[in-house]
Amino acid sequence: MLNTSVRRICQVFCAALANSYWFSLASRTIYQGPLKGFCIPALNCYACPLALFACPIGTIQHFVGYGTYYISLYTIGILGIVGSTAGRMACGWICPFGFLQDLLFKIRTRKLALPHWMTYGKYLVLALLVFLIPLLTKQPWFCKLCPAGGFEGAIPMLILDPLLFELVGLLFVLKMIIVAVWLAAMVFIKRPFCRTACPLGAIFSFFNRASIFTLSVDNDKCIQCDECLRVCPTDIKVYENPNDADCIRCLDCKPACPVNAISYELVGFPRKKRKEAVENA
Amino acid sequence: MRSKTPYILLTLFVLLLVGGIYLGEVAKVLRKAVLLCLDCIGIG
């Protein structure tokens, strides 16, 4: 419970920090200062009038389409540093769009489970919409279809500048349908976008098994009561695979475990060994 | 080997980040990010 509260505070703080250019309400333009040169390791549209930082997925597509060597070493470097340190932890603690999904799922209604095969969709989105199609068409197709961009960018920009309504066309209608479908799905399914379509989550998921921060389960203690599954925001049975590609490292499972079987460690510095070292000393 | 992999990856990505900064990518990202691409958000 304490962990969840701390995480909520962190999510609120990060969402507020990433979207704190309130001057845009008066200027009706997006932030154009130096912070926009930094890619935040989260899905946060940089066309949002309040956004302070660049979106890594938008940046990757831009380099794929227009870069001289097709890939942004800078952006991949930032994502790789975050991923190899903590895996998908940024999804659970930093990402404003992940936070929105957590909030909408709190609406009391009938809940649905997501078929596991759908979780592979995010890799398809990453390969096709972020790399292949932008490379061939020189257009950022993930951005054009991104629900975060529709929700955080398109709608606020239209509210700020009603003259833009004259430019609204079929693509905008399609984008709003996509936004509506995803928002509805978030009410019924745990983090549907993160698990099935987020290319940033797909990139971070490659690191879950090879990050410095990892989770582990003591199988001798575990009674497979599925309490971890109940509290997990991505429906993972932690005892089957504590470093599953969909684990967003929220750590809600650790305090929920009735037999304290779940622990986390820094690779190379196992917790038990450190404890033993302290006891021996 | 398992215990070294994350640190090798971390070093590799730090080098990529430094390489990107050295190649002037921060300025390129900034130039792109300060322009509002209406087409990218479905308007226009």
pLDDT in single tens digits along all 44 residues of chain B: 568 899 999 999 999 999 999 999 999 999 999 988 887 888 87
Which of helix, strand or coil describes residue A90?
Answer: helix
Per-residue model confidence (pLDDT) at position A80 = 98
In this structure, are A122 and A63 located in the same domain? yes
Per-residue model confidence (pLDDT) at position A272 = 57
Q: Look-up: residue for tokens 């509210």?
A: A159
Per-residue model confidence (pLDDT) at position A270 = 62
In this structure, are A7 and A95 located in the same domain? yes
Per-residue model confidence (pLDDT) at position A227 = 95
Q: Is residue A271 part of a domain?
A: no
Domain count, chain A: 2
Domain final residue, candidates A187, A205, A223: A205
Per-residue model confidence (pLDDT) at position B36 = 85
A155: nearest CA partner in chain B: B41
DSSP for chain B reads -TTTHHHHHHHHHHHHHHHHHHTTHHHHHHHHHTS--TGGGTB-
- Regions of chain A where pLDDT drops below 70: 1-2, 67-68, 270-281
CB contact residues (below 8 A), chain A span 130-189, against chain B: 139-140, 143-144, 149-150, 153-154, 157-158, 164, 167-169, 171-172, 174-176
In this structure, are A141 and A195 located in the same domain? yes
Range of the domain at A246: 211-263
Per-residue model confidence (pLDDT) at position A34 = 95
- Segment B32-44, tens digit of pLDDT: 999 888 878 888 7
d(C-alpha B41, C-alpha A142), whole Å: 10
| CATH number of the domain that residue A241 is part of | 3.30.70.20
State the pTM of this model: 0.92
Domain count, chain B: 1
Per-residue model confidence (pLDDT) at position A106 = 96
In this structure, are A72 and A8 located in the same domain? yes
Range of the domain at B10: 5-41
Which chain A positions have a beta carbon within 8 Å of B1's beta carbon? none
Contact across the interface for A72 and B26, Cβ inside 8 Å: no
